[in-house]
Amino acid sequence: MAKAPSLRRCSVPVMSSGADTTLWVRAFCDELARAGVREVVVAPGSRSTPLVMAFDAHQHFNVRVHLDERSAAFFALGVGKASGVPAVLVTTSGTATASAFPAVIEAAQSEAPLLVLTADRPHHLRDSDANQAIDQLRLFGPYAKDFFEVAPPLVEDAALRHLRSLAARTVASAKGAPAGAVHVNFPLDKPLEPIEGHGDFMAKHPSAGAGRSSGEPFVQVESGRRQVSADTLEALLDALDTPRGVIVLGPSPDPLGSGEAALRLAAAIGCPLLADPLSGARFAPSRGAHVVAGYDLLLRAPDVCAALEPSLVLRVGASPTSTALLGWLQHNDGVRQIVIDGGGRWKDHGATATEYVHADPAATLHALAESAEANAHEDWRELWRSAESAVREAVHSARGEPHEGDVLATVAAAVPEGANLFVSSSMPVRDLDAFGAPRDETVRVFGNRGASGIDGIVSTAFGVAAATGAPTVCVIGDVALFHDQNGLLWSREPDAQVVFVLIDNDGGGIFHLLPIAEHDPAFTKYFATPHGLDFRHVAEMYDIDFTDSEIEVLDSALAIGLESGRTCIVRVRTNRETNTRRHREISDAVTEAVRKALKLPLTSRLI
């Protein structure tokens, strides 16, 4: 009588399964290195063990670890923003993956490269009530530029060749214009630890197993940029032949490229350049261009906007930080406004564009600068010079109690040439826009203005510092520091030192500038939200130097912090009510001074 078959489940030998996973994941990581990826940020977890060990074993990666997935993701984002090359974030499965979502959103909105590699439960554990198993497929929705579900490990020539090609595609997609986040999901089964094997396969299929012998990527992926046609270029040159042209340069994912190109074009045609702090042109050699200072302060009254009505606006980059500048664009809704954009996201939320050109901004501006002639009228240029001079004099004459704008003005002037300045969303970037005077030397300015969140400022600043190796200053508010205080753990990295200028007004200062401020006590409870926290204790927990500074001596405190070579926090205490009053006083004084300079009636409400 034949023996009845066993009902026990047959198991795959441990050596075979583990060796398959090890070779599979190593091949993918090796191709990332060949494609130029160097920075890897790991958040601890078990399911991601094969990925972590593969990156650790590869000599070309700089692998860092952080306990908080959100902070890890924003650090990787900072690396991508500063270098143009995506850093890798590795997470385990489950809710750890969701913690990367804020950074993925910012990457999408600011067009910054990022690679998110999430470990997942194998297919047979999905939809089965397995522990730590959630639906990770297309988890980030439209905010991931691309999503790839990696096949389960299969050690055969065709499968590994496809896997290596896929790795090259992920890097190309993340970097390609417009840059963004790419999500790669790895279903991984146990055993998860590295297991060696498949020596025979490697010998028979060397390119699939070990990659191209030349050391080149398995497939070279070139992501071209949109080039303007000859006819469109000629039409743009005709448009620039106008007496009252203006170039508006918003935040740019390529500030070095588009900033330099915009300066060249503005100098060539002789028109004013309104350069956002994040544009790459505000703090850079001007090349003879007139980079207008204080436009945020001078464009706040309707009659001033009318007096400075242009005949053409050439716009590049994302929406400007300045509400006043956006209002000026709306005020001139009937004026010809041309947007030059590389594509990917529509950049005209005010619906004021009359023409939209999909082309690489830097290349297009350079091409225009080669052939454009100086057509701006002298009286038009003088009008902007007079208004700008009035702003400087009014701000100087309105000296009184120090305010947060003074903090940004001081930092913008004191940061060393060649250094990085990272500005938090909310008030710091707005104050830098209003009070940060242009400099004729390079300071790279960064911010998370894609989605304007404050949830990863600390970590992103550390990522920028690590990617560039340059001195880095970050101006941050107390609420933003509270949101990302876990990011201070990055201070342990030997190549990522940041001097944080902490503007501590015990709550949300920006809300005092909104109409809701008139509705106390609800305003204080729900919007101003005073917290009473002393961030000195946070600094102590992370062994970070901490000092208090008055605004009047902030430049000295900043210099000491930079010279120390250590991460430190320089706190400047401010008062929300005083700051609001001083902002309004200065705004009123500037408007009256500009009206006088432009010979306008001294009566009109601010916008």
pLDDT value for 412: 98
Residue range 157-188, pLDDT digits in tens: 999 999 999 999 999 999 999 999 999 999 99
Residue range 66-84, pLDDT digits in tens: 999 999 999 999 999 999 9
390 touches 594 (CB < 8 A): yes
pLDDT of residue 299 exceeding 60: yes
Confidence of residue 426 (pLDDT cuts 50, 70, 90): confident
User: CA angle at residue 380 from 377 to 385, to 5 degrees?
Assistant: 125
311-335 exposure pattern, b = at least 16 Cβ within 10 A, e = fewer: bbbbbbbbbbbbebbbbbbebbeeb
Centre a 10 Å sphere on the Cβ of residue 605 and count the other Cβ atoms it contains.
Answer: 9
- Domains of the chain with bracketed CATH: 17-210 (3.40.50.970), 230-396 (3.40.50.1220), 404-573 (3.40.50.970)
pLDDT value for 518: 80
**CA contacts within 13 A on the Cβ side of 589:** 17
Q: φ, ψ for residue 198 (rounded to 5)?
A: 65, 35
pLDDT value for 55: 98
> Lowest mean pLDDT: which of 21-30, 197-206, 582-591?
197-206
How far apart, in whole angstroms, are the C-alpha atoms of residue 51 and residue 163?
14
Residues 6 or more apart in contact with residue 527 via CB below 8 angstroms: 508, 511, 514, 516, 517
Confidence of residue 542 (pLDDT cuts 50, 70, 90): very high
Token duo for residue 531 = 């917290």
Cα dihedral 449, 452, 455, 458 sign: positive
Give me the mean pLDDT over the 108-132 stretch.
94
Confidence of residue 406 (pLDDT cuts 50, 70, 90): very high
Residue range 208-232, pLDDT digits in tens: 999 999 999 999 998 888 899 999 9
Residue range 367-377, pLDDT digits in tens: 999 999 998 99
Residue with structure tokens 């600390």?
458
145 touches 182 (CB < 8 A): yes
Confidence of residue 603 (pLDDT cuts 50, 70, 90): low
Q: Torsion angle of alpha carbons 207, 210, 215, 219, nearest 10°? A: 50
pLDDT value for 282: 97
Residue range 316-367, pLDDT digits in tens: 999 999 999 999 999 999 999 999 999 778 999 999 999 999 999 999 999 9
pTM listed for this prediction:
0.94
pLDDT value for 245: 97
> Lowest mean pLDDT: which of 44-48, 128-132, 512-516?
512-516
425 vs 106, 370, 465, 481, 514, CA distance in Å?
12, 36, 18, 11, 16
Give me the mean pLDDT over the 99-109 stretch.
98
